Amino acid sequence: MSDDRTTPLTPARGRTRWLRFTVVLITSTGLAAGLVTATATAAVPTAFAFSGTNFKFSAKRVEGDGFAQFVGIGEDQDAVVVTSIGSARVEDLCFSALVPSLVGEVTIVARAGGDEAVEASDLVLNLSDMHSDATLTNLVLGADAGEVDRGARGVTGKDGDYAHQADAIVIDDLRSTSGTTTAGVFKLTGLHITAVPGRQECF
């Protein structure tokens, strides 16, 4: 195997560290508006990482070409399920995270793909929990994590570890908890980011 592959076993820390902000609600709202202006109509390399906690990730439906899954090590040295999809269409996407502030808890919520599906390439989610209904095409169980080749490009696990992979996957009613989510390109159609007081997560 080539030595230049990359792996998400120790995900990089995101530059945006929401949980270290101690800001009033109006400041969080202003930041959210800036993010919408920057990314609502663009296809951009994307990394979602909320430092200090996991965040919620949900979708009505995910249709993926190329899928692989294996165990990795997360940012806090806990085991995570590395879920890798080569390309995906995502309907009704939602991200949310709780943020402490001077006025109490604030929920940062990002939604996209309501009218037109979000498109992502080389999508990788490091999951601590996942609930859904899934249909897989040409599923292979017991693959070598170091040699998986059906998910995101260059994303593999440790040689000899267990993995499974498939040519395609359809996920309905996805509800998951993740520490890091990355994509080579995420076309966030109709992106809307809000900061709302209290606990108002995706689910």
Tell me what percent of the residues of the chain surpass a pLDDT of 70.
Answer: 73
Q: For residue 11, name the pLDDT band (cuts at 50, 70, 90).
A: very low
- Write out the two tokens for 142: 């017991």
Quote the pTM value. 0.74
- Write out the two tokens for 176: 């998951």
- Write out the two tokens for 167: 């040519």
CB–CB of 108/96 below 8 Å? yes
pLDDT tens column, 83-92: 999 999 999 9
| pLDDT of residue 82 exceeding 90 | yes
| pLDDT of residue 64 exceeding 80 | yes
Closest Cα to residue 54, out of 14, 20, 98, 12? 98
Residue type, 112: A
Q: How far apart are the first and last CA of the chain?
A: 41
- Write out the two tokens for 40: 């609502």
| pLDDT of residue 5 exceeding 80 | no
Task: Check residue 180 and give its pLDDT.
Answer: 85
| pLDDT of residue 153 exceeding 70 | yes
Task: Check residue 74 and give its pLDDT.
Answer: 72
Work out the angle at residue 163's Cα, subtended by the Cα atoms of residues 160 and 164, and round it to the nearest 5 degrees.
145
Burial, 37: exposed, middle or buried (Cβ in 10 Å; 0-12, 13-18, 19+)?
exposed
CA distances from 10 to 77, 86, 128, 198 (A): 8, 20, 14, 31
Contacts 24+ apart (CB under 8 A), 131-134: 131/173, 131/174, 131/175, 131/176, 132/171, 132/172, 132/173, 132/174, 132/175, 132/176, 133/171, 133/172, 133/173, 134/169, 134/170, 134/171, 134/172
Q: Write out the E strands in 50-161.
A: 55-73, 79-91, 93-101, 104-112, 118-137, 140-144
Task: Check residue 100 and give its pLDDT.
Answer: 85
